[in-house]
Amino acid sequence: MRNSIFTILIAAIALTGCRDEKSTSLSTDEISFSKEATGYLIKKATRDTIQTLEVEIADTDYDIQTGLMYRTSMNNDQAMLFVFKEEQELSFYMKNTQIALDIIYLKADGTIVSFVENAKPMDETLLPSAGPAQYALEIKAGLAEKWGLDVGDVFVWE
Protein backbone atom coordinates (compact mmCIF):
# COMPACT_ATOMS: atom_id res chain seq x y z
CA MET A 1 0.00 0.00 0.00
CA ARG A 2 2.78 2.39 0.94
CA ASN A 3 4.54 1.78 -2.43
CA SER A 4 1.29 2.48 -4.33
CA ILE A 5 0.77 5.83 -2.58
CA PHE A 6 4.41 6.77 -3.21
CA THR A 7 4.09 5.83 -6.92
CA ILE A 8 0.88 7.90 -7.29
CA LEU A 9 2.50 10.88 -5.56
CA ILE A 10 5.56 10.75 -7.85
CA ALA A 11 3.33 10.45 -10.95
CA ALA A 12 1.23 13.46 -9.84
CA ILE A 13 4.35 15.60 -9.32
CA ALA A 14 5.74 14.57 -12.72
CA LEU A 15 2.46 15.39 -14.50
CA THR A 16 2.22 18.77 -12.77
CA GLY A 17 5.76 19.59 -13.90
CA CYS A 18 4.91 18.72 -17.50
CA ARG A 19 1.79 20.88 -17.48
CA ASP A 20 3.71 23.92 -16.17
CA GLU A 21 6.44 23.50 -18.78
CA LYS A 22 3.88 23.52 -21.61
CA SER A 23 2.11 26.67 -20.40
CA THR A 24 5.30 28.75 -20.25
CA SER A 25 6.34 27.87 -23.80
CA LEU A 26 3.32 29.61 -25.35
CA SER A 27 4.63 33.18 -24.84
CA THR A 28 7.02 33.31 -27.82
CA ASP A 29 4.91 35.44 -30.19
CA GLU A 30 6.84 37.65 -32.60
CA ILE A 31 6.40 41.37 -31.89
CA SER A 32 5.01 42.83 -35.08
CA PHE A 33 5.71 46.23 -36.61
CA SER A 34 2.91 48.77 -36.27
CA LYS A 35 2.98 51.63 -38.82
CA GLU A 36 1.79 54.84 -37.15
CA ALA A 37 3.19 57.48 -39.52
CA THR A 38 4.98 58.03 -42.80
CA GLY A 39 8.37 59.70 -42.64
CA TYR A 40 10.74 61.22 -45.16
CA LEU A 41 14.51 61.60 -44.98
CA ILE A 42 15.37 64.72 -46.97
CA LYS A 43 18.76 65.89 -48.25
CA LYS A 44 19.21 69.37 -46.83
CA ALA A 45 21.28 70.76 -49.69
CA THR A 46 18.94 69.69 -52.54
CA ARG A 47 15.67 69.16 -50.65
CA ASP A 48 15.33 65.82 -52.47
CA THR A 49 13.67 62.93 -50.64
CA ILE A 50 16.31 60.31 -49.83
CA GLN A 51 13.92 57.66 -48.48
CA THR A 52 10.28 57.23 -47.47
CA LEU A 53 9.76 55.20 -44.27
CA GLU A 54 6.93 53.48 -42.44
CA VAL A 55 7.32 54.71 -38.87
CA GLU A 56 6.37 53.17 -35.55
CA ILE A 57 6.31 55.79 -32.78
CA ALA A 58 7.65 55.27 -29.25
CA ASP A 59 6.30 58.12 -27.14
CA THR A 60 5.29 56.49 -23.84
CA ASP A 61 7.77 55.55 -21.11
CA TYR A 62 7.15 51.85 -21.78
CA ASP A 63 7.56 52.17 -25.57
CA ILE A 64 10.72 54.28 -25.20
CA GLN A 65 12.28 51.81 -22.76
CA THR A 66 11.33 48.76 -24.86
CA GLY A 67 11.96 50.14 -28.36
CA LEU A 68 12.91 47.39 -30.80
CA MET A 69 13.90 44.91 -28.08
CA TYR A 70 13.02 41.26 -28.69
CA ARG A 71 12.29 41.76 -32.40
CA THR A 72 14.01 39.49 -34.86
CA SER A 73 13.54 41.34 -38.14
CA MET A 74 13.00 44.75 -39.68
CA ASN A 75 12.45 45.85 -43.29
CA ASN A 76 14.57 48.50 -45.00
CA ASP A 77 11.57 50.85 -45.22
CA GLN A 78 10.67 50.59 -41.52
CA ALA A 79 11.84 52.79 -38.64
CA MET A 80 11.07 53.47 -35.01
CA LEU A 81 10.89 57.11 -33.91
CA PHE A 82 11.51 57.86 -30.22
CA VAL A 83 9.81 61.06 -29.09
CA PHE A 84 11.03 63.02 -26.05
CA LYS A 85 9.42 66.08 -24.44
CA GLU A 86 12.34 68.41 -25.18
CA GLU A 87 15.82 68.54 -26.63
CA GLN A 88 18.43 66.91 -24.40
CA GLU A 89 21.55 64.80 -24.61
CA LEU A 90 20.26 61.34 -25.57
CA SER A 91 21.94 57.99 -25.17
CA PHE A 92 20.72 54.59 -26.32
CA TYR A 93 22.00 51.03 -25.93
CA MET A 94 21.19 47.71 -27.57
CA LYS A 95 20.20 45.58 -24.57
CA ASN A 96 17.86 42.77 -25.70
CA THR A 97 17.88 44.15 -29.26
CA GLN A 98 18.57 41.37 -31.75
CA ILE A 99 18.74 43.53 -34.89
CA ALA A 100 21.82 45.63 -35.76
CA LEU A 101 20.70 49.26 -36.09
CA ASP A 102 21.69 52.75 -37.17
CA ILE A 103 20.50 55.32 -34.60
CA ILE A 104 19.86 58.82 -35.94
CA TYR A 105 19.57 61.65 -33.40
CA LEU A 106 17.35 64.57 -34.46
CA LYS A 107 16.78 68.13 -33.22
CA ALA A 108 13.26 69.40 -32.50
CA ASP A 109 12.98 70.57 -36.14
CA GLY A 110 14.00 67.11 -37.47
CA THR A 111 17.57 68.07 -38.42
CA ILE A 112 20.10 65.27 -37.95
CA VAL A 113 22.41 66.10 -35.02
CA SER A 114 24.44 62.89 -35.22
CA PHE A 115 24.09 59.20 -35.84
CA VAL A 116 25.55 55.91 -34.70
CA GLU A 117 26.08 53.36 -37.43
CA ASN A 118 25.94 49.57 -37.04
CA ALA A 119 25.07 49.43 -33.34
CA LYS A 120 25.83 45.87 -32.22
CA PRO A 121 22.92 43.66 -31.15
CA MET A 122 22.68 42.83 -27.44
CA ASP A 123 25.45 45.33 -26.51
CA GLU A 124 24.89 47.52 -23.44
CA THR A 125 27.51 50.13 -24.39
CA LEU A 126 25.98 53.63 -24.28
CA LEU A 127 25.62 55.28 -27.70
CA PRO A 128 25.21 59.03 -27.06
CA SER A 129 24.08 61.84 -29.34
CA ALA A 130 26.72 64.44 -30.28
CA GLY A 131 24.47 67.23 -29.00
CA PRO A 132 20.96 67.93 -27.75
CA ALA A 133 18.26 66.00 -29.61
CA GLN A 134 14.50 65.59 -29.15
CA TYR A 135 14.08 62.50 -31.32
CA ALA A 136 15.92 59.32 -32.15
CA LEU A 137 15.18 57.37 -35.32
CA GLU A 138 16.23 53.72 -35.51
CA ILE A 139 16.67 52.08 -38.89
CA LYS A 140 18.25 48.83 -40.05
CA ALA A 141 22.07 48.88 -39.81
CA GLY A 142 23.93 50.01 -42.91
CA LEU A 143 21.15 52.15 -44.33
CA ALA A 144 22.55 55.51 -43.11
CA GLU A 145 25.66 54.85 -45.21
CA LYS A 146 23.72 53.37 -48.14
CA TRP A 147 21.42 56.41 -48.28
CA GLY A 148 24.33 58.84 -47.83
CA LEU A 149 22.91 60.53 -44.73
CA ASP A 150 24.78 63.51 -43.35
CA VAL A 151 24.52 65.68 -40.25
CA GLY A 152 22.18 68.51 -41.28
CA ASP A 153 19.88 66.35 -43.40
CA VAL A 154 16.27 66.39 -42.22
CA PHE A 155 13.61 63.89 -41.18
CA VAL A 156 9.94 64.90 -41.37
CA TRP A 157 6.85 62.79 -40.69
CA GLU A 158 3.08 62.94 -40.99
What pLDDT sits at residue 30? Answer: 65
Instruction: Pick the closest to residue 74 from 143, 136, 140 (CA basis).
Output: 140
Instruction: Pick the closest to residue 126 from 89, 155, 87 (CA basis).
Output: 89
Q: From residue 76, give the alpha-carbon distance in Å to each of 51, 105, 141.
A: 10, 18, 9
pTM for the complete prediction?
Answer: 0.80
What's the chain's Rg over C-alpha atoms? 22
Domain ranges of the chain: 29-157
How far apart (Å, rounded) are the C-alpha atoms in residues 42 and 153?
A: 6
pLDDT in tens, the chain (158 residues): 444 333 333 333 333 343 333 333 334 466 777 888 999 999 998 999 999 999 999 999 999 999 999 999 999 999 999 999 999 999 999 999 999 999 999 999 999 999 999 999 999 999 999 999 999 999 999 999 999 999 999 999 98
Question: Is domain 29-157 annotated with CATH 3.30.1280.10?
Answer: no
